[in-house]
Amino acid sequence: MKFLDLTKVFIRSGSGGNGCISFRREKYVEFGGPNGGDGGRGGDVWAEAVEGLNTLIDFRYQQHFFAKNGQAGMGRNMTGADGNDIILRVPVGTEILDEDEETIIADLTEVGERVLLAKGGNGGWGNLHFKSATNQAPRRANPGQPGVERELWLRLKLIADVGLLGLPNAGKSTFLAATSNARPKIADYPFTTLVPNLGVVGVDGVEFVVADIPGLIEGASEGKGLGDLFLGHVERSAVLLHLVDGSSGDPVRDWRTIVDEIEAYGEGLADKPRVTVLNKIDTLDDEERTFIANELTEAGAGQVLLMSGVSGEGTVDVLRALRSQIDEDRLRRKPAPEEDEPWEP
């Protein structure tokens, strides 16, 4: 499935049906009168967050969503049928923005959350409503109200507990593959990851979601490389996991590059808790590990954990450090394994 996190849609609610001008003309009925019914209400346009989606790719192939118009009223006091509503089903974490791509109309962060995007027009009154003592045969009816037409943007920000940060080839995808059932692409060249990946990791009986985004490079905030296009997917994270490649020529410079880019991005990312990890320690001896970790600490990284995503060394300690930064209400308890009942002859 292709990944798409920003798309434009065109919506229009249904127009109300026109009121009816009608009079009774029945055999053997001495006195007639107006009996025009009201028009039906136009359909609304809704957006709803649903389970099972993590991309907006469906909206690439269908971008126009029009609700049904209400039917016109009819004689014999019959009201026209209401137009059917239309629902845009979007992934959890979708922001709905106005045409200016800045004004946020709604932020759907929970399954089942709904928002009304365009209300359908009311149906017009039939001539029955205009009957009075001085106007026994009104020949007027109201037209239905027109629907609302809008252009909106849908922007997806994935719901994850942990956001993975690092330069290209820092080992983010390897870490995700080693600790979860996710299978991101792994290769020995930069920008292997082109779209965000999600994985569910578990430690000490609890599970949480980790989001791996494409690597940042120096100048990403100015559009270099893939830019900071995907940083929005870690905005909702409780904690950031910053991986530093221990086998690079200058790990401290690599660490500073990522810190500078998230500070330039803003949106509160620089203020989030961060766990800094020196990765690929399987390529370093004990003296090199200690030296680089101390350099990172002196540069301002705080406590630095050691890990190798390939060999698995230190991964449990990293997961426990992440767990300690996540609120209990965001954690999910692992289901207990079912025990087989003893066989009885």
State yes or no: 169 annotated in a binding site. Answer: yes
Cα separation, 144 vs 163, in Å, equals 50
Are 246 and 281 within 8 A, CB to CB?
yes
State yes or no: 247 annotated in a binding site. Answer: no
CATH 3.40.50.2300 for the 1-156 domain, yes or no: no
- Three-state SS string over 68-118 comes to CCCCCCECCCECCCCCCCEEEEEECCEEEECCCCCCEEEEECCCCCEEEEE
Confidence of residue 186 (pLDDT cuts 50, 70, 90): low
State yes or no: 75 annotated in a binding site. Answer: no
Cα separation, 321 vs 305, in Å, equals 9
- Mean pLDDT, the chain, whole residue set: 88
State yes or no: 98 annotated in a binding site. Answer: no
Q: How much of the chain exceeds pLDDT 70, in percent?
A: 90
Average pLDDT estimate for 220-238: 75
Residue 296 pLDDT more than 90? Answer: yes
Domain edges within the chain: 1-156, 162-333
State yes or no: 327 annotated in a binding site. Answer: no
Cα separation, 274 vs 197, in Å, equals 19
State yes or no: 308 annotated in a binding site. Answer: yes
Cα separation, 50 vs 91, in Å, equals 6
pLDDT in tens, 39-91: 999 999 999 999 988 889 999 899 999 999 999 999 989 999 999 999 999 99
Length of the chain: 345
CATH architecture of 162-333: 3-Layer(aba) Sandwich (3.40)
From first CA to last CA, the distance across the chain in angstroms is 50
